[in-house]
């Protein structure tokens, strides 16, 4: 009996020793920076990975890199990706790949199949359950989760509709857009709907939707140009189009002003200490009695890059106002990237290293902006930046309402 137990123990030890090198090799492979080398190493081990987490990490990086490989390799990695990803993870990855490669006509059939599958997945209960877990980990409240779910689904379905449009299936694309708008009203979707309607010469409907988009995103250049394009097709006088544009922009601004009281919050600002790029330090106690515009950003963040020029213009408007201070806070882990980024863009607002301050403010992503009143209370919180929104006007209304 003892001999049998000893043999079993030895076998277990041998098995454990055999697994460890495999995991170590996977981790070393994941650390490879050169994509071509990573692909070669990853393909040799993809079928032998036992750790579900490591397989997920491996396929998450590998799948986008083999999208143009021959059928057998592509199918093998696709199968491994579907096996290691839940419905939400797979649909989001497939969406990213399809969108990034949307100009590649040689892969159009493969990409369409991928995004079509993602569109199916995002409508399932498995997708919703996995998304709920994901949002829980990011600290979303129940209400925030309810609001986020249709946004994630819309992202995928919008890409699906884009591919349908490319294939000339305009009516099918319109049906998908209507499905999105039934639960998520968004300027970009409205603009896309208008383009699909214009393809079918339904210019009046297209005009209505693009005007609605402008009333939500009054600085959206695509919306502006399409309004004039559709107006010309409808033989509208230029003066009439100008009036419609002015009304849509005014409606957008009035909507922002009308919600100020509704969205104002009463949250104590956490105490903090920030280091400026020049090495100087500012503490929250130094800023008492000031209105603060705080913007958390990252150099790698696309929406941050688009929002920062508008924040900079607003900063220049208040630069000589002693009652208003701007704190532009980098959340970059690699601090060496911050100064070159700021200098290249010629930003003159004060920039600080975030360290643990973002945790104190409880931000879930970037960009996130706060406007703090003279009483030290956070009064407004704005998460994200959408193309075409009038960020300067919005933040200006926040600031001026606190005087």
319 falls within a domain: yes
Residue 139, pLDDT score: 85
Percent residues over pLDDT 70 in the chain: 95
pLDDT at 122: 97
State yes or no: pLDDT of 68 exceeds 50: yes
- CATH at residue 317: 3.40.30.10
Q: Which of the 8 DSSP states describes residue 186?
A: -
Contacts of 345 (CB under 8 A, 6+ apart): 308, 309, 312
From the list 211, 304, 342, 372, the catalytic residue is 304
Predicted pLDDT at 16: 44
Whether residue 121 lies inside any domain: the answer is no
Q: How far apart are CA 66 and CA 39, in angstroms?
A: 8
Q: Determine the structural domain holding residue 367 and report its residue range.
A: 263-400
pLDDT single digits (tens) 151-161:
999 999 999 99
233 domain-assigned: no
Cα→Cα distances 384→97, 194, 296, Å = 22, 25, 10
Cβ atoms within 10 Å of 356's Cβ, excluding its own = 8
Q: Is the pLDDT of residue 304 over 90?
A: yes
pLDDT in tens, 328-356: 999 999 999 999 999 999 999 999 999 88
Averaged pLDDT of the chain: 93
Residue 385 is given by DSSP the state: -
Mean pLDDT of all residues in 300-324: 97
222: tokens are 């695509």
Q: Is the pLDDT of residue 6 over 70?
A: no
Contact indicator for 292, 327 with CB cutoff of 8 Å? yes
Q: Is residue 142 part of a domain?
A: no
Any catalytic annotation for residue 17? no
For 19, other C-beta atoms within 10 Å of its C-beta total 12
3-state DSSP assignment of residue 283: strand
Residue 18: per-residue pLDDT: 44
pLDDT 10s digits, 202-212: 999 999 999 99
What is d(CA 120, CA 281) in angstroms, rounded to the nearest whole number? 52
For residue 107, being part of any structural domain is answered with no
How many domains, the chain? 1
Q: By mean pLDDT, which of 22-31, 61-70, 177-186 is the weakest?
A: 22-31
Of these residues, 301, 324, 371, 391, which one is catalytic?
301
Strand blocks (E) in 245-362: 267-268, 273-276, 281-283, 291-297, 324-330, 351-353
CA dihedral 208, 226, 246, 236 (to 10 degrees): -70
pTM metric for this prediction: 0.83
User: pLDDT-derived band of residue 19, with 50, 70 and 90 as boundaries?
Assistant: very low
Express each pLDDT in 222-238 by its tens digit.
999 999 999 999 999 99
Higher pLDDT, 24 or 309: 309
pLDDT tier, 5 (very low <50, low <70, confident <90, very high otherwise): very low
Evaluate whether residue 36 is within a structural domain. no
Distances (CA, A) of 369 to 4, 74, 97, 111, 348: 65, 42, 30, 36, 18
122 included as an active-site residue: no
The reply to whether 256 falls in a domain is: no
Report the Cα 347 to chain-centroid distance in Å.
Answer: 23
- Would you say the C-alpha torsion 296, 99, 76, 81 has a positive or negative sign? positive
Q: pLDDT of 167-194, one tens digit each?
A: 999 999 999 999 999 999 999 999 999 9
Instruction: Answer whether residue 335 is part of any domain.
Output: yes
For residues 384, 385, 390 and 395, what is the CA-based torsion angle, rounded to 10 degrees?
Answer: 40
């Amino acid at each position: 009996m003892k001999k049998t137990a000893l043999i079993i123990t030895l076998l277990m030890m041998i098995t454990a020793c055999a697994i460890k090198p495999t995991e170590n090799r996977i981790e070393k492979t994941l650390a490879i920076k050169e994509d071509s080398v990573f692909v070669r190493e990853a393909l040799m081990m993809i079928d032998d990975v036992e750790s579900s987490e490591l397989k997920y990490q491996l396929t998450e990086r590998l799948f986008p890199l083999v999208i143009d490989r021959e059928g057998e390799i592509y199918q093998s990695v696709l199968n491994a990706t579907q096996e290691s990803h839940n419905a939400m993870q797979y649909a989001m990855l497939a969406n990213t790949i399809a969108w990034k490669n949307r100009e590649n006509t040689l892969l159009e059939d493969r990409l369409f199949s991928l995004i079509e599958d993602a569109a199916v997945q995002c409508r399932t209960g498995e997708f919703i359950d996995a998304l709920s877990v994901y949002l829980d980990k990011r600290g979303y409240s129940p209400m925030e989760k309810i609001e986020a779910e249709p946004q994630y689904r819309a992202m995928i379905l919008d890409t699906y509709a884009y591919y349908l449009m490319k294939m000339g299936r305009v009516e099918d694309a319109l049906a998908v857009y209507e499905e999105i708008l039934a639960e998520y009203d968004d300027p970009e979707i409205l603009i896309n709907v208008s383009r699909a309607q214009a393809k079918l010469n339904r210019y009046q409907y297209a005009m209505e939707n693009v005007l609605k988009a402008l009333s939500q995103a009054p600085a959206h250049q695509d919306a502006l140009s399409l309004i004039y394009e559709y107006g010309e097709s409808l033989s509208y006088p230029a003066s009439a189009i100008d009036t419609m544009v002015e009304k849509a922009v005014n409606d957008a601004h009035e909507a922002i002003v009308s919600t100020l009281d509704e969205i104002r919050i009463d949250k104590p600002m956490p105490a903090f200490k920030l280091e400026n790029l020049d090495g100087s330090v500012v503490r929250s106690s130094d800023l008492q009695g000031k209105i603060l515009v705080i913007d958390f950003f990252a150099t790698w963040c696309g929406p941050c890059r688009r929002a920062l020029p508008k924040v900079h213009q607003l900063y220049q408007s208040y630069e000589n106002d002693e009652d208003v201070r701007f704190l532009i806070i980098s959340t970059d882990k690699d601090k060496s990237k911050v100064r070159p980024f700021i200098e290249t863009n010629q930003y003159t607002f004060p920039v600080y290293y975030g360290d643990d301050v973002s945790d104190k403010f409880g931000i879930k992503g970037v960009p996130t902006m706060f406007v703090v009143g003279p009483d030290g209370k956070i009064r407004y919180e704005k998460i994200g930046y959408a193309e075409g929104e009038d960020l300067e006007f919005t933040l200006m209304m926040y600031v001026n309402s606190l005087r």
